[in-house]
Structure 1
Amino acid sequence: MCRHLAYLGAPVTPRELLVEPPFGLYRQSWAPRTQRYGTVNADGFGLGWYADGDEVPARYRRAGPIWADASFADLARVIRTRALLAAVRSATEGCAAGETAAAPFAAGRWLFSHNGAVDGWPAKLDALAALLPPAELLALEARTDSALLWGLALHRLRAGAGLGEALAGAVADTAAHTTGRLNLLLTDGRTLAATAWGDTLHHRTLPDGAVLVASEPFDDDPAWTAVPDRSLLLAGPDGITVRPL
Structure 2
Amino acid sequence: MCRWLAYRGNPIQLEAVLFRAKHSLIDQSLHSRFGHTTTNGDGFGVGWYGSPAELPFRYRCAQPAWSDRNLRDTARAVHAPMFVAHIRAATDTPSQETNCHPFRHGRWLFVHNGLVRDYPKVRRDLMLGIDPDLFASIEGSTDSEVMFLLALTFGLEIEPVRALERMARFVEETGQRHGVEAPLNMTVCATDGEQIVAARYSSERQSRSLYHSTSIRHLMELYPDDPRLAAVGRDAFLVLSEPLVDLEGLWEEVPESVAIVAKLGRIEGRIFNPYRA
TM-score w.r.t. structure 1 length?
Answer: 0.93
Which residue of 186, 201, 217 maps to 1:182? 186
SS at match of 1:29: helix
Partner Cα separation in structure 1 for residue 246 and residue 116 of structure 2: 31
Code of the aligned partner of 1:21: A
Q: Which residue pairs with 2:211 in the alignment?
A: 202
User: For the Cα contact (< 8 Å) 2:236–2:265, is it kept in 1?
Assistant: no
Taking the TM superposition and a 5 Å limit, the aligned residue runs for 1:1-245 are: 1-35=1-35, 37-93=36-92, 95-134=93-132, 136-157=134-155, 160-178=157-175, 179-197=183-201, 198-205=207-214, 206-207=216-217, 208-221=234-247, 222-245=249-272
Cα deviation digits, residues 132-188 of structure 1 (max 9, x gap): 234533431211111110111122347x52322222221222122231211111111
Distance (Å, rounded) in 2 between the aligned partners of 1:47 and 1:54: 19
User: Over the residues paired in the alignment, what is the CA RMSD in angstroms?
Assistant: 1.6
- Secondary structure class of the residue paired with 2:122: coil
Give the letter aligned to residue 226 of structure 1.
E
1:96 Cα shift?
3.1
- Equivalent residue letter for 1:43: D
* Aligned-partner Cα distance in 1 for 2:242–2:163: 23
The structure richer in helix per residue is 2
Maintained 8 Å contact 1:125/1:177 = no
Deviates more, 1:124-133 or 1:103-112: 124-133
8 A Cα contact 2:46 2:83, kept in partner? yes
SS at match of 1:26: helix
d(CA) in 2 for partners of 1:189, 1:45: 20
SS at match of 2:188: strand
SS at match of 2:6: strand
Contact 1:202 1:226 in 2 (8 A): yes
- Partner letter of residue 123 of structure 1? K
Structure 2 vs 1, CA of residues 55 and 173 (structure 1 numbering), >3 Å: closer, same or farther?
Answer: farther
Matched-pair contact (CA < 8 Å) for 2:122–2:174: no
Q: What is the aligned-residue identity percentage?
A: 34
If you compute each CA radius of gyration, which structure gives the higher value, 1 or 2? 2
Aligned pairs, number: 242
Please give the alpha-carbon distance, in whole angstroms, between the structure 1 residues aligned to 2:147 and 2:31. 27
| Compared CA separation, residues 96 and 151, structure 1 to 2 (3 A) | farther
Listed as ranges, the gaps of 5+ residues in structure 2 are 176-182, 202-206, 218-233, 273-277
